[in-house]
Amino acid sequence: MTSSQVAEHAGVSQSAVSRTFTPGASISSKTRQKVLASAKVLGYRPNAIARSLITNRSRIIAVVMAYLENLFYPDVLEELGRALAAENYHLLLFTGFMDRDSDPVFDQLMQYRVDGIILASTSLSSELSEECASAGIPVVLFNRTTERDAVSSVTTRNREGGKRIAEFLVAGGHKSFGYIAGLENSSTNRDRHQGYVEGLAGHGITEIAYEIGNYSRPKRKLRRA
């Protein structure tokens, strides 16, 4: 079903059909009704692909989440899906690859001319971040930060969180302290650790056991709903 076919059926021009499905386009409600009626009969839906080609906007946002094992991410994903749908955007998900080889992912992603990229649980090589910038594709990091100021990022206040944990433990009367790191060189981990150390330092505590955990646990097997 194409707009031309609908136009023919409705006895109007193809442009009229296009205008019918373009919010705010200049069209009389009479013509509009005719088109809508024909569209319904023929089961017509505008072709988003063709539209994208000419408007240069795909209304697709790429979301890159290397893994979903961390329970936090599915929650985020669901929320993201809801929010994007509300704005009539669509979510192209890239997941299930190791953190290392994200470059080929971007190659794919660029080909779809996505309107924006949300990076969670992965980072962008500086080369690619530059390419996105020069291509005019907005990139936002989620739960990550970076020094490059071209890239926006959304995170929680990890340092504050670490500090509060420290206060909490001290207030609980604890006497010996430790810290189990996540991915050691992630900004998330650095910030939490810093806050924790600072918090304890405020109480004159400097002796803190340290271990690296990498957020690891035995790999989950597929489970049944």
What are the residues binding a copy of itself (CB under 8 A)? Answer: 43, 45-50, 52-53, 58, 60, 63, 67-83, 85, 88, 90-97, 105, 107-108, 110-113, 121, 131, 134, 143, 156, 161, 182, 188, 215, 220, 222-225
Asked whether position 145 contacts DNA by CB under 7 A, the answer is no
Task: Tell me the C-alpha to C-alpha distance, in Å, between residue 70 and each of 25, 80, 81, 127, 146.
Answer: 45, 16, 18, 28, 21
Residue 52 C-beta: closest distance to DNA, Å: 8
Asked whether position 3 contacts DNA by CB under 7 A, the answer is yes
3-state secondary structure of 51: helix
Q: Which is nearer to a copy of itself, 11 or 99 (CB)?
A: 99
Partner from DNA, a copy of itself, none contacting 12, C-beta within 5 to 8 A by type: DNA
Q: Which residues contact 122 (CB under 8 A, 6 or more apart)?
A: 64, 65, 66, 99, 102, 144
Question: In degrees to the nearest 10, what's the CA dihedral of 103, 109, 114, 116?
Answer: -30
Q: Which is nearer to DNA, 11 or 202 (CB)?
A: 11
Asked if residues 125 and 148 have their Cβ atoms less than 8 Å apart, the reply is no
Asked if residues 160 and 153 have their Cβ atoms less than 8 Å apart, the reply is no
Of the candidates 165, 172, 145, which has an alpha carbon nearest to the alpha carbon of residue 156? 145
Partner from DNA, a copy of itself, none contacting 18, C-beta within 5 to 8 A by type: DNA
Residue 41 C-beta: closest distance to a copy of itself, Å: 14
Instruction: Retrieve residue 131's tokens.
Output: 């390419």
Partner from DNA, a copy of itself, none contacting 15, C-beta within 5 to 8 A by type: DNA
Of the candidates 184, 186, 176, 181, which has an alpha carbon nearest to the alpha carbon of residue 207? 176
Partner from DNA, a copy of itself, none contacting 13, C-beta within 5 to 8 A by type: DNA
Chain centroid to CA 47? 25
Interface with DNA (CB under 7 A), residue from 28, 108, 152, 155: 28
Asked whether position 13 contacts DNA by CB under 7 A, the answer is yes
For residue 217, give the H/E element and its range: none
Binding mask 35-54 for DNA (x = CB under 7 A): ---------x-xx--xx-xx
Partner from a copy of itself, DNA, none contacting 22, C-beta within 5 to 8 A by type: DNA
Residue 219 per-residue DSSP state: P
Contact residues for DNA, defined by CB under 7 A: 2-4, 12-16, 18-19, 21-22, 26-28, 30-32, 44, 46-47, 50-51, 53-55
